[in-house]
């Protein structure tokens, strides 16, 4: 479990978490895992595949506010927020596990330390949202793109989905653009710039970071906000 990257779990806590998983389901790419406005009775753990949270504007523009990788609890917040204020989309085919809110509630009654770690995982999501805001508001599109690629790399690395400086990133340029809040056309030009300047390679689904230092500098990337550190919580 990913929570163990943040703090040690006791045997009992680990068992309780494993037992919390009620049912596993496969969802094809392009389908919503969770609909906006719904009131889920379960929270969704992403076992395999990539998912994105998004919301549409009236003009039909889709803003992706977070991308989730295997191991992420994509809508743990619905346990307490009750109503979904955004949707969650399967960016690729996904295998997901449902965790009933009634079970989560029992966990919070019996396992305070585990509760703090679950809480923490939602706080890390929030920290990423803040970082996206800073980068979206303060950097140019190319800086923003560089930042996002750095983030993807580190997050995939912690779950063992990188191979050296390479990783599979199954996002179309249009989806990538929707993360940045720019048009697909502009995203395309930005990516060409990052490639031609030798910072990255991106062919099909394979991204390779050829010059981390320069990429991180362009994206003003500082990993503090990912809070990837094990300490007592």
CA 143 – CA 180 distance, rounded (Å): 10
197 binds DNA (CB under 7 A): no
The binder of 193, among DNA, a copy of itself, none, by C-beta within 5 to 8 A per type, is none
We find the least distance from the C-beta atom of residue 148 to DNA, in angstroms, to be: 13
The binder of 16, among DNA, a copy of itself, none, by C-beta within 5 to 8 A per type, is none
Nearest to 89 by CA among 106, 74, 104: 74
The binder of 12, among a copy of itself, DNA, none, by C-beta within 5 to 8 A per type, is none
What secondary structure, in 3-state letters, does 33-84 show?
EECCCCCCCEEEEEEECCEEEEEECCCCCEEEEEEECCCCECCCCHHHHCCC
Q: Which of 81, 123, 185, 217 binds DNA (CB under 7 A)?
A: 185
CA 139 – CA 118 distance, rounded (Å): 31
210 binds DNA (CB under 7 A): no
- Residue 59 Cα distances to 30, 56, 164, angstroms: 20, 8, 41
Q: Where does this chain bind a copy of itself (CB under 8 A)?
A: 37, 53, 55, 57-59, 61, 63, 65-66, 77, 80-83, 85-86, 108-109, 112, 115-116, 119-120, 122-127, 129-134, 136-139, 180-182, 220, 224-225, 227, 229, 231, 233
């Amino acid at each position: 479990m990913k929570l163990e990257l943040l703090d040690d779990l006791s045997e009992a806590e680990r068992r309780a978490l494993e037992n919390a998983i009620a049912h596993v389901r496969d969802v094809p790419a392009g389908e919503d895992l969770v609909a906006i406005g719904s009131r889920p009775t379960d929270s969704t753990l992403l076992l395999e595949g990539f998912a994105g949270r998004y919301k549409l504007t009236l003009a039909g523009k889709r803003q992706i506010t977070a991308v989730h990788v295997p191991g992420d609890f994509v809508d743990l917040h619905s346990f307490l927020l009750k109503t979904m204020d955004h949707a969650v989309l399967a960016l690729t085919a996904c295998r997901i596990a449902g965790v009933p809110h009634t079970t989560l509630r029992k966990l919070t009654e019996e396992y305070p330390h585990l509760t703090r770690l679950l809480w923490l995982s939602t706080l890390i999501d929030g920290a990423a949202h803040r970082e996206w805001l800073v980068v979206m508001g303060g950097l140019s599109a190319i800086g923003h793109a560089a930042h996002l690629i750095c983030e993807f790399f580190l997050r995939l690395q912690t779950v063992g989905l990188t191979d050296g400086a390479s990783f599979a990133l199954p996002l179309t340029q249009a989806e990538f653009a929707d993360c940045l809040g720019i048009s697909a056309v502009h995203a395309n030009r930005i990516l060409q710039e990052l490639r031609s300047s030798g910072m990255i390679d991106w062919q099909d689904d394979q991204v390779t970071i050829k010059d981390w230092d320069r990429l991180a500098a362009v994206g003003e990337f500082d990993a503090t906000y990912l809070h990837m550190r094990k300490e007592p919580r």
